[in-house]
Amino acid sequence: MVYMLTKLREGSMFEHRDVIWILVKKDFKIRYRHSALGFIWSLLNPLSTMTILTVVFSLLLKSGIQNFPIFLLTALLPWRFFSIGTMQATGSIAANPSLVKKIYLPRYVLVLTNNLASFISFLMEFTALLPIMMALGMTLTPHIILLPAVMIIEFLMVLGISLGLAALSVFYRDFYQIWEIVLQLGFFLSPIFYDPNIIPERYRFYYSLNPVTRIIESTREILLYNALPTAFDLATPLLIAVLLLAVGYTIFRRLEPRFAEET
Amino acid sequence: MNIIEVEDLWKKFKIPHERKNTVLDTIASTLSLFGGRRSTFEEFWALKNVTFDVAKGGSIGIIGENGSGKTTLLRIIARVMRPDQGRISVNGRIAPMLELGLGFHPELTVKENVVVFGTIMGLKREKLRKQIESIVEFAELKRFEDAPLNTLSSGMQMRLAFSVAVETDAEIILVDEALAVGDMEFQRKCLDRFKEFKKQGRTIVLVSHDMNLVTEFCDNALFLSRGEIVASGNTREVIKEYIRRVESQSVSLLTSDQATIA
């Protein structure tokens, strides 16, 4: 008996650039279609969190961190991209059965476009809140040219995690809920509303394994402390990002052949 | 070289007796495994030893009762599913019309949806931009082009989707009963388009229960039953065999019913 698996010609990203672009546009339009206020809401969310945390920690608990509102925003925005990006992408395969079953698109396209739409939202939020941060006392320095590098590294992390989560949640439908809990923990395990130096020295290494920690610290270096992140500061998160991508993509490729049967 | 070559194709589905699709279920059943309970599943061969070819420019109709493996076969040709064994080679671009209106979103406008679905179907952006007017016109929806899709009736939406799908320039066209859209006049228009495809030398694979349609369109036919090819070859012969089978089956069902009653 002839035993041979079909050779699948995997389309390159370039070949599918039209589909990727159109799906990102569609995703984006739907996110903000309901009202012109749609985008305003996505700005009000981090601003209100900022206000609440400022009242609690700066005024009531007297945490003593300088420029606390900016300190918060420089962390809240990347954190929002990380949590919303990964959460939205978790269902991107399972929630699109017809795009999986009825046509052959490389399935990573569904995850990638979802992430790209979240990424563009994040960039827009950042741009829109920049004047507010400056009004709150932040000064812009030429160091800001390094910010895109930090953002792209974060994007790669989000993509890696999303690929893994999206594939796993085809088979385990409660992965979304599990990830929600992990993110809740992550909010407290990332230096969002406290200075990472309060973490005891012996836990510092484990603490810094959290990928978001590095992103937040680099963002603050650039925007708040007017310092240039060193090559090492950027190399570690990049390494983590590449690692996450490798793991996420491997999981995705392993499970992909059965997507059409399970969605 | 034939444009589609399928050789000794087998496809298996696993049907678990109890479905575990959450992490919690899996943990629970792993724990109970120590108590001696095993999770079990049934294997089901959806396709068994399927072999056939389609020549370039040929057209083949796949017929058979529900659950005979027609759609699974179509999905494997469309590369959506992978076979467990066997070889399949497809030497051309495929336009799968397994479901019309993929990626349609009710809140986007008619034109926006044309672009989304068209791109998913593999139409080039340039071509879409140039032809969007004629697509909307072919669907007879010119008046609604900027209205959100959910203001259209479901028949109108199908018409729109169909009008986009037939713009494809792929060499191979896979159709899963998608022809039955719209009113009689629109169906006529669609059939004409498909005849044009044939004239242009494109290859058509059609899954249908409509024997008239299969006779009209397909040079060859394939009759599947429970995953196996029962008959293949000349369309009229295959359909004759199909009808003979169906009739003898209903006769045997009838007689066994009478036997139970007696």
Q: What is the pLDDT of residue B256?
A: 60
The token pair that represents B217 in the structure block: 């369109």
**Which residues are registered as beta bridge partners of A11?**
none
**Digit-coded pLDDT (tens) for B118-172:** 999 989 888 899 999 999 999 999 999 999 999 999 889 988 999 999 999 899 9
Q: Do A22 and B82 touch (CB under 8 A)?
A: no
Confidence band, pLDDT 50/70/90 cuts, at residue B247: confident
Which residue of B lies nearest to A105 if distances are taken between CA atoms? Answer: B120
Which element (helix H / strand E) includes B233? Answer: strand B228-234
In angstroms, the separation between the Cα of residue A119 and the nearest Cα of chain B is 20
A178 touches chain B (CB under 8 A): yes
In a domain, B155, yes or no: yes
Q: What is the pLDDT of residue A35?
A: 64
A3 touches chain B (CB under 8 A): yes
Q: What is the pLDDT of residue A9?
A: 41
Tell me how far apart the alpha carbons of residues A257 and A10 are, in angstroms, rounded to a whole number: 12
Q: What is the pLDDT of residue A141?
A: 87
Which residue of B lies nearest to A173 if distances are taken between CA atoms? Answer: B22
Q: What is the CATH number of the domain that holds B195?
A: 3.40.50.300
Residue B120: which of A79, A119, A106 has the closest Cα?
A106
Q: Do A104 and B80 touch (CB under 8 A)?
A: yes
Q: Do B80 and A101 touch (CB under 8 A)?
A: yes
The token pair that represents B121 in the structure block: 């179907």
Confidence band, pLDDT 50/70/90 cuts, at residue B45: very high
- The sign of the CA dihedral B97, A109, B123, B83 is negative
Partners of A8 on chain B (C-beta within 8 Å) are 79, 82
Q: What is the pLDDT of residue B130?
A: 92
Give the type of residue at A163.
L
Tell me how far apart the alpha carbons of residues A188 and A23 are, in angstroms, rounded to a whole number: 34
Tell me how far apart the alpha carbons of residues B63 and B210 are, in angstroms, rounded to a whole number: 9
Q: What is the dihedral of CA B228, B233, B239, B241, to 10 degrees?
A: -60
Report the domain count for chain B. 1
In a 10 Å sphere around its CB, with 0-12 CB exposed, 13-18 middle and 19+ buried, how is residue A206 labelled? exposed
> Among A18, A29, A98, whose Cβ lies nearest the Cβ of B99?
A98
DSSP category for residue B39: -
Confidence band, pLDDT 50/70/90 cuts, at residue B185: confident
Q: What is the pLDDT of residue A6?
A: 33
In angstroms, the separation between the Cα of residue B259 and the nearest Cα of chain A is 40
Q: What is the pLDDT of residue B49?
A: 94
Q: Say what the pTM is.
A: 0.87
In a domain, B262, yes or no: no
Residue range of the domain that includes B62: 4-33+44-250
Are the beta carbons of A124 and A39 closer than 8 angstroms?
Answer: yes
Q: Do A103 and B96 touch (CB under 8 A)?
A: yes
Is the confidence at residue B261, as pLDDT, over 90?
Answer: no
Among chain B, residues having any CB pair with chain A shorter than 8 Å are 7-8, 13, 21-24, 26, 75-76, 78-83, 85-89, 94, 96, 98-99, 102-103, 105, 107-108, 112, 115-116, 119-121, 124-125
In a domain, B180, yes or no: yes
What distance lies between CA B115 and its chain's CA centroid?
Answer: 22
> Among A4, A26, A104, whose Cβ lies nearest the Cβ of B108?
A26
> Among A22, A99, A174, whose Cβ lies nearest the Cβ of B119?
A22
End-to-end CA distance of chain B: 58
A182 touches chain B (CB under 8 A): no
DSSP category for residue A145: G
A19 touches chain B (CB under 8 A): yes
Tell me how far apart the alpha carbons of residues B225 and B213 are, in angstroms, rounded to a whole number: 20
In a domain, B237, yes or no: yes
Residue A105: which of A178, A18, A31 has the closest Cα?
A18
Q: Do A172 and B21 touch (CB under 8 A)?
A: yes
Q: What is the pLDDT of residue B131?
A: 92
Tell me how far apart the alpha carbons of residues A169 and A180 are, in angstroms, rounded to a whole number: 13
Are the beta carbons of B155 and A49 closer than 8 angstroms?
Answer: no
DSSP category for residue A242: H
Given phi > 0 = left and psi -120 to 50 = alpha, else beta, which region is B50? beta
Mean pLDDT of the region B244-259: 71
In a domain, B16, yes or no: yes
The token pair that represents B123 in the structure block: 């139409």
In this predicted structure, which of A242-246, B21-25, B91-95, B253-257 has the lowest mean pLDDT? B253-257
Q: Do B103 and A23 touch (CB under 8 A)?
A: yes
Query: Could you tell me how many CB contacts below 8 A there are between chain A and chain B?
Result: 95
Q: What is the pLDDT of residue B250?
A: 73
In a domain, B118, yes or no: yes
Are the beta carbons of B164 and B95 closer than 8 angstroms?
Answer: no
In a domain, B260, yes or no: no
In a domain, B259, yes or no: no
Interface test with B, best of A7, A8, A22, A179 (most B CBs within 10 A): A22
In angstroms, the separation between the Cα of residue A73 and the nearest Cα of chain B is 33
A109 touches chain B (CB under 8 A): no
What does each C-alpha distance from B42 to A166, A260, B154 come to in angstroms?
Answer: 27, 19, 38
Tens digit of each residue's pLDDT, chain A (263 residues)? 233 333 334 456 777 889 999 999 998 888 887 666 778 888 888 899 888 988 888 777 877 788 889 999 999 999 999 999 999 999 999 999 989 998 988 999 999 999 999 999 999 999 999 999 899 888 888 889 999 999 999 999 999 999 999 999 999 989 999 999 999 999 999 999 998 888 899 998 888 889 999 999 999 999 998 888 888 888 999 999 999 999 999 999 999 998 988 87
Q: Do A5 and B120 touch (CB under 8 A)?
A: no
Going by C-beta distance under 8 Å and a sequence separation of 6 or more, which residues neighbour residue A239? Answer: none
Going by C-beta distance under 8 Å and a sequence separation of 6 or more, which residues neighbour residue B144? Answer: B110, B151, B152, B156
Is the confidence at residue B220, as pLDDT, over 50?
Answer: yes
Are the beta carbons of B179 and B61 closer than 8 angstroms?
Answer: no
Phi, psi of B116 (to 5 degrees): -65, -55
Partners of A3 on chain B (C-beta within 8 Å) are 85-86
Helix A108-135 / helix A231-255 crossing angle, nearest 10 deg = 150
Q: Do A102 and B99 touch (CB under 8 A)?
A: yes
What does each C-alpha distance from B21 to A113, A168, A250, A257 come to in angstroms?
Answer: 26, 10, 21, 17
Checking A192-199 for CB contacts under 8 A at 24+ apart, the result is A192/A72, A192/A75, A192/A76, A192/A79, A192/A216, A193/A53, A193/A57, A193/A63, A193/A72, A193/A75, A194/A57, A194/A63, A194/A65, A195/A65
